[in-house]
Amino acid sequence: MPTSDGPQPWGPSMEPPPEMLYAPTGEPLDGVRRTAILDWTVNQYISLGWRVESRSPTQAVLVRGGDVNHVLHAILTIFTCLLWGIVWIVLALGNKKERVALTVDPYGYLQTVHGPG
């Protein structure tokens, strides 16, 4: 097993797709290759904890994070005589949702746009 001095990121590194997915320089890609590039990239994001929110053959929107279940936390707060309220407040303030849109252009270049949470 290789060792390293620095900290290792969780999950696989975001490497470019295999070269076989690309057409010769300057030629547009067919739809199958564009979809394969997007599939490969989406799989990389999924392995890092992202979820697919919407998908088309050449574009995908992924999201990470989620909403707090306020009804459940309200019930837990009532049954624990307000002690669970501390946990609820921490979760509500620390809750963060991230979105990213991935688009593959006709030449196989991946465009990434980070959107509002």
Give the per-residue pLDDT at 59. 96
pLDDT given at position 25 = 72
- Residue 46: its pLDDT value, please? 93
- Predicted confidence (pLDDT) per residue in 3-56, tens digit: 444 444 444 556 656 666 666 777 888 888 889 889 999 999 999 989 999 999
Region 105-109: mean pLDDT is 88
pTM listed for this prediction: 0.69
Q: Is 38 exposed, middle or buried (0-12, 13-18, 19+ CB in 10 A)?
A: buried
Measured distance CA(94)–CA(72) in Å, rounded = 17
Q: Which tokens is 46 given?
A: 């999924």
CB atoms within 10 A of CB 67: 8
